[in-house]
Amino acid sequence: MMILLSMCGAILGLSVAERALRIFRRWNISDQENRYELEKEFYLTYVTVGVVLGIRLFAIPLYFWTLESFVPMIPGAMCLWGVFNVIPQHCWPALSLKFLFPTIYVGWLILAKINDVSKRNPLIRNLMGLYLSTLPLLVLDSLVDFSIFYNLQPIRVSCCASAIDEWPRPVPALVGGVAGQTLLLSTFLVLSSIYAILSFMSAGRRLFEWISRSLTLILIPVTVLTITEVLTPWVLHLPLHHCPFCLLYKHPAAPIFLALLWISFSGAWWALITERMGATNTESRGTEMIFRQNIWRISGVTMLISLVMVTVFVLISFI
């Protein structure tokens, strides 16, 4: 399934590249009659791109679920960590791409929705330009998936316990007399709370948008550290174990928590995409503003839900 989806995504994506380039180059210099012809080409391109991005978004959870299903077949693997070590040169770099690329894909789909709501397709050129910029990433995403699943073999690998747990811990046991894990968790909760507040404030005033957006760059590494150094050992009741894949595999709510965090962090950058590319005339400017405000509110709500989930996780861990 993953090999088929990867091939279909790459082939469909490339099949409309020439048409998208023609629309992008000619739209601003065409008269009304030529624009009408380009607009007819746009609809086919628009639908095809929507299908391609839909395939790539659907492939994200399928990618992890499929790799997880290979755990019993690979000697030494106890979770996704072991599966990744079968082809580490591809799997580990691809992990970050699975969070970055979907943010761009959804950004394009949001722009497409703004264009649908507006009259006369005001975002045609911007949509085609963003797609052409995204196309190399989309093809790379598809090729990496194809390479991983084509070359995956049941070879013996090291498990997560003999890897991540053997590393020197990045968080000291004590920092100024306070437990390092407690200090890290408190930092995450405080920064996340500030981000949630700023997200709601960004929906009302553009002054706070870049502050919120910049905060995501700090929160992302803090979140990764919090999951590995605090939540995994506490929630799983394994004080010396720090594999985040084990947490996601053994705790049913952990994937939901991660998905909510991704939506919250991505929202800050979706708002940037709509701000820069979603306002080409008076009508689309008003529509874009409404969308951007809603994106910031969604970002704030998902972060608040994530904070509640973390609090529940921590409280239950002490029971």
Longest dimension (CA), the chain: 74
Percent of all residues in the chain with a pLDDT value above 90, rounded to a whole number: 47
The number of folded domains in the chain is 2
Instruction: Answer whether 34's CB lies under 8 Å from 26's CB.
Output: yes
Residue 200 belongs to some domain of the structure: yes
Q: How confident is the model at residue 250 (pLDDT cuts 50, 70, 90)?
A: confident
- Does position 239 have pLDDT exceeding 90, yes or no? no
Q: How confident is the model at residue 273 (pLDDT cuts 50, 70, 90)?
A: very high
Predicted pLDDT at 284: 84
Quick check: helix, strand or coil at residue 165?
A: helix
Domain final position from 101, 117, 151:
151
Looking at the structure, do residues 63 and 206 belong to the same domain, yes or no? no
Average pLDDT over residues 132-155: 89
Q: Which of 129, 147, 110, 127 is CA-nearest to residue 293?
A: 110
Backbone angles phi, psi at 156, to 5 degrees: -75, 135
Residue 160 belongs to some domain of the structure: no
Instruction: Please write the tens of the pLDDT for every residue from 11-68.
Output: 988 999 999 999 999 988 888 888 888 888 888 899 999 999 999 999 899 999 988 8
Looking at the structure, do residues 141 and 212 belong to the same domain, yes or no? no
Instruction: Please write the tens of the pLDDT for every residue from 167-190.
Output: 778 887 777 778 889 999 999 999
Instruction: Please write the tens of the pLDDT for every residue from 185-206.
Output: 999 999 999 999 999 999 988 8
Average pLDDT over residues 86-108: 91
Looking at the structure, do residues 226 and 282 belong to the same domain, yes or no? yes
Instruction: Answer whether 299's CB lies under 8 Å from 264's CB.
Output: yes
Predicted pLDDT at 71: 87
Looking at the structure, do residues 207 and 232 belong to the same domain, yes or no? yes
Looking at the structure, do residues 142 and 193 belong to the same domain, yes or no? no
Predicted pLDDT at 133: 93
CA dist., res. 187 & res. 7, Å (int): 43
Q: Which of 171, 296, 259, 164 is CA-nearest to residue 221?
A: 171
Residue 253 belongs to some domain of the structure: yes
Predicted pLDDT at 169: 80
Looking at the structure, do residues 171 and 302 belong to the same domain, yes or no? yes
CA dist., res. 143 & res. 149, Å (int): 10
**Which amino acid, 204?**
G
Distance in angstroms between the alpha carbons of the first and the last residue of the chain: 42
Q: What is the pLDDT of the chain when averaged over all its residues?
A: 90
Residue 244 belongs to some domain of the structure: yes
Structural domain harbouring 17: 2-151
**Which amino acid, 245?**
F
Domain final position from 151, 180, 209:
151
Backbone angles phi, psi at 110, to 5 degrees: -65, -45
Domain final position from 121, 151, 181:
151
How is residue 276 written in tokens?
């820069």
DSSP string, 42-81: HHHHHHHHHHHHHHHHHHHHHHHHHHHHTGGGSTT-SSHH
Looking at the structure, do residues 128 and 174 belong to the same domain, yes or no? no
Predicted pLDDT at 241: 87
Looking at the structure, do residues 12 and 70 belong to the same domain, yes or no? yes
Residue 157 belongs to some domain of the structure: no
